Amino acid sequence: MPRVRRLPPGPGGKLFGRTLNSNLGIAAGPLLNSKWVEGYARLGFDVLTYATVRSSFRPALALPNIRHVENREQAAVVARRPAVNGDTTIAVSLGEPSMEPDVWRKDVRRAKDRVGRGQVLIVSVIGTSHPGGDAEALIADYAQCACWAAESGADAVEVHLATPDPFVEQPQMIYENVPLAARILHRVRTTVTIPVLAKLGPFKTPRLLHDTATRLAPWANGYVLVHGISRKVLDDKGSPAFEGAGRERADVVGAQTFAVAARQIEEMLAWRKAGAWDRAILAVGGISTVERALDLLRDGADAALVATAALFDPLFAARFRQTRTAAVA
């Protein structure tokens, strides 16, 4: 972990009525436990999302489970050389692992103790569906995780809905099954008192984005988007890049996804402006430069969150603060 000699003060900000040092943060993923939360909090990231947790232990999928890729038209293709200078794009096939709840519940409490003033801790949760289990069991499982996260001191809970819907033949994500997504959020909303965020992926049309956001708004305090772009990932010979069944597709994230992600974020901001609902919008997806973060915040996003950039460019927040402070001075 690099050391920051003197971190410029943050430009200030607000989220859910709390005063922040800045509206820059880390999306679910890089912060695997309280040590990572503490490290990145010290590096000047102020909205800290604890990586997704479940109601039971689940190991990560076999290595390699992250590969550098180029985002081509038909598929993402493994890159010969990793991109540098803010152009890092990766495919992630981790299998949404989780620690045991007994372990993460204690560790979230530690993480909460270690975030500083002007910083917030969001905990990302996902439901686990078991063979033969129905929607009610999945909904209850999401709510159980959210309840544990809140009891452990989370300032907000993020409900991970950009994950495959286990109840349909045709592949779709839970956020694309609006009745199911609404039931999950409703249960979580009526179980915890902290703010509830919905993590969403890309929508096929602006109309779908609008209708979904409007239907979910009664049960969500905010939206976190865009999770990543589900794509086929191939090696340079055209074979699947990740070994094992069910791994042909993976989440492509990082710099080259910005154009797609930013368009969706801008659409969400436009609908909010149109007055349909008033919920927080946390921008994610390909924010690989300080300028990209600043542009989205200027356009009205309530926070700019990074995952890939946090991994490959941990001094991002220090540069963000420098630029913002210089702009204000």
Ligand X SMILES: Cc1cc2nc3c(=O)[nH]c(=O)nc-3n(C[C@H](O)[C@H](O)[C@H](O)COP(=O)(O)O)c2cc1C
Q: Which residues bind ligand X (CB under 6 A)?
A: 27-29, 51-52, 66, 92, 94, 124, 160, 199, 227-228, 253-254, 257, 284-287, 306-309
Beta carbon nearer to ligand X, 87 or 276? 87
Beta carbon nearer to ligand X, 70 or 276? 70
Beta carbon nearer to ligand X, 269 or 276? 269
The minimum distance between CB 55 and ligand X, in angstroms, equals 15
The minimum distance between CB 202 and ligand X, in angstroms, equals 11
Burial of 292 (0-12, 13-18, 19+ CB in 10 A): buried
Beta carbon nearer to ligand X, 50 or 219? 50
Beta carbon nearer to ligand X, 20 or 125? 125
The minimum distance between CB 11 and ligand X, in angstroms, equals 20
| Contact partners, residue 165, CB within 8 Å, separation at least 6 | 172, 173, 174, 176, 177, 180
Task: Give the Å distances, CA to CA, from 17 to 14, 106, 187, 302.
Answer: 6, 26, 23, 11
| Contact partners, residue 286, CB within 8 Å, separation at least 6 | 253, 254, 255, 256, 257, 258, 259, 260, 261, 262, 292, 308
The minimum distance between CB 164 and ligand X, in angstroms, equals 13
CA angle in degrees (0–180, nearest 5) for 264-308-297: 45
Beta carbon nearer to ligand X, 9 or 171? 171
Tokens of residue 64, six digits = 């390699």
Task: Give the Å distances, CA to CA, from 88 to 155, 250, 255, 313.
Answer: 31, 16, 6, 10
The minimum distance between CB 288 and ligand X, in angstroms, equals 7
The minimum distance between CB 5 and ligand X, in angstroms, equals 26
Q: Rounded to an integer, what distance in angstroms lies between the CA atom of residue 82 and that of residue 90?
A: 9
Contact predicate 146/125, CB 8 Å? yes
Q: Of 184, 195, 146, give the one whose Cα is nearest residue 303.
A: 195
The number of C-alpha atoms within 13 Å of 313 and in the hemisphere containing its C-beta is 23
Q: Rounded to an integer, what distance in angstroms lies between the CA atom of residue 299 and that of residue 302?
A: 9
Beta carbon nearer to ligand X, 8 or 25? 25
